[in-house]
Amino acid sequence: GFFVNPFVYRMEHSSQSRVLREEVFGPHVAIIPFRTMEDAIRIYNDTPYGLSLAVITEDYRKARVIREECEYGLGYVNLPTIGAEVHLPFGGVKKSGTGIPSAAGLVDAVTHKTAWTINHAKEIKMAQGLKTDIE
């Protein structure tokens, strides 16, 4: 059969780089150096895709900033990014997303939630302290 060899390489960030502008379906890792966390966030967000993200850090404050500032559908801290969790809604953002959640998020996507409160008593007690009978 056919297979694609893993492809790991180091490169400087370039908004025009084809490997950073197109979604690669294969074992592909680009190692892009950065100086500050702001640079890392800018580099990560500078793509038309955003399926998943993984960050390795012992500083959970940095992980929180990454969580808040990056554009992604599935996020991991100190775990590999596999791109799917069966018990969580699935989908990325930008061109990686279909807008259709699966698993736990599917019910919310295809239903309309309502809330009902039922009074089984024979009178209505209002917030103002007034009462009236139910006929």
CA dist., res. 127 & res. 37, Å (int): 52
CA dist., res. 71 & res. 64, Å (int): 13
Between these two residues, 39 and 131, which has the higher pLDDT value?
39
Give percent above pLDDT 90 in the chain. 29
pLDDT tens sequence across 38-80: 999 999 999 998 888 888 888 989 999 999 999 988 888 998 7
Confidence band (pLDDT; 50, 70, 90) for 100?
low
Amino acid at residue number 111: T
To the nearest 10 degrees (0 to 180), the angle between helices 37-45 and 60-69 is 30
pLDDT score of 106: 66
What value does the mean pLDDT take over residues 14-26? 85
Contact call for residues 57 and 77 (beta carbons, < 8 A): yes
Topology given in CATH for the domain delimited by 34-103: Aldehyde Dehydrogenase; Chain A, domain 2 (3.40.309)
Confidence band (pLDDT; 50, 70, 90) for 93?
confident
The reported pTM is 0.67
CA dihedral 25, 28, 29, 30 (to 10 degrees): -90
